[in-house]
């Protein structure tokens, strides 16, 4: 006869467990819902507790790993669990290799983009310098043209003033001679 179980409450948070392939603590993939929480007046039962005295180890393993093992699949439970763990380990190793390949390609792509950026920066810097040089030389040419125009206007004004005074002097002289 099965003994009655006490009421238990389960949590839904993940627990931290050490993973052997990384060597440090990471979040476990196993939900803590399998771990009963203790409340007042509650009795905690282990997952290894048996409902009947004659339940053997294979049945307990089947009950614990029901999500991995098929319910009516004959065969050695330990061998199937080892096979499952080996498959998971090979999948983990394949994913780690893919991650390493991804990181390698990412570094190569970043290096190539940095080289292209430096080349473009150099190209645009040279182009900017040539634009600045042309602008400065154009500005110097414009200043020179402006100075020439000012000089020419000044020369024309001086010539007009001299011409005016020459005419005034000539008319004054004619008046003096006529008197």
Number of residues written out for the chain: 179
Q: Considering just the CA atoms, what is the radius of gyration of the chain in Å?
A: 49
User: What does the pLDDT read at residue 10?
Assistant: 46
Which residues are CB-neighbours of 38 under 8 A, at least 6 positions away? 44
pLDDT digits (tens, 9 = 90+) for 145-158: 999 999 999 999 99
Q: What is the mean pLDDT of the chain?
A: 75
Q: What does the alpha-carbon distance between residue 65 and residue 54 come to, in Å, rounded to a whole number?
A: 19
Q: What does the alpha-carbon distance between residue 141 and residue 147 come to, in Å, rounded to a whole number?
A: 10
Tokens 């948070």, residue? 13
User: What does the pLDDT read at residue 83?
Assistant: 84
pLDDT of 175 > 70? The answer is yes
Percent over 90 (pLDDT), the chain: 32
10 Å CB burial of residue 8 (0-12, 13-18, 19+) is: middle
**Coil/strand/helix, residue 19:** coil
What residue spans define the domains of the chain?
Answer: 1-41
Q: What does the alpha-carbon distance between residue 25 and residue 28 come to, in Å, rounded to a whole number?
A: 9
pTM of the model: 0.37
Contact, 62 vs 78, CB < 8 A? no
pLDDT digits (tens, 9 = 90+) for 25-52: 444 454 545 544 455 444 444 544 555 5
Mean pLDDT of 6-35: 47
**Coil/strand/helix, residue 45:** coil
User: What does the pLDDT read at residue 26?
Assistant: 46
pLDDT digits (tens, 9 = 90+) for 45-84: 454 455 553 457 777 777 777 777 766 666 677 777 888 8
Cβ-based neighbour number of residue 36 at 10 Å:
20
Q: Which two tokens stand for residue 44?
A: 């905690």
Q: What does the alpha-carbon distance between residue 171 and residue 167 come to, in Å, rounded to a whole number?
A: 6
Q: How many CA atoms lie within 13 A of 28 on its CB side?
A: 13
Q: Which two tokens stand for residue 129?
A: 């310098």
pLDDT of 161 > 50? The answer is yes
């Amino acid at each position: 006869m099965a003994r009655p179980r006490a009421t238990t409450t389960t949590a839904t948070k993940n627990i931290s467990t050490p993973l052997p392939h990384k060597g440090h603590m990471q979040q476990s993939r196993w939900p803590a819902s399998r771990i009963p929480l203790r409340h007042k007046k509650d009795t905690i039962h282990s997952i290894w507790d048996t409902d009947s005295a004659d339940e053997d180890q294979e049945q307990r393993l089947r009950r614990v790993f029901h999500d991995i093992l098929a319910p009516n699949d004959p065969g050695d439970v330990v061998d199937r669990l080892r096979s499952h763990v080996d498959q998971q380990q090979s999948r983990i190793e394949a994913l780690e290799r893919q991650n390493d390949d991804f990181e390698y390609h990412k570094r190569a792509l970043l290096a190539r983009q940095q080289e292209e950026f430096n080349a473009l920066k150099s190209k645009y810097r040279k182009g900017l310098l040539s634009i600045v040089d042309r602008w400065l030389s154009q500005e110097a040419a414009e200043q020179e043209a402006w100075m020439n125009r000012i000089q020419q206007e000044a020369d024309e004004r001086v010539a007009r003033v001299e011409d005016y005074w020459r005419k005034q002097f000539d008319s004054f002289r004619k008046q003096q001679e006529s008197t």
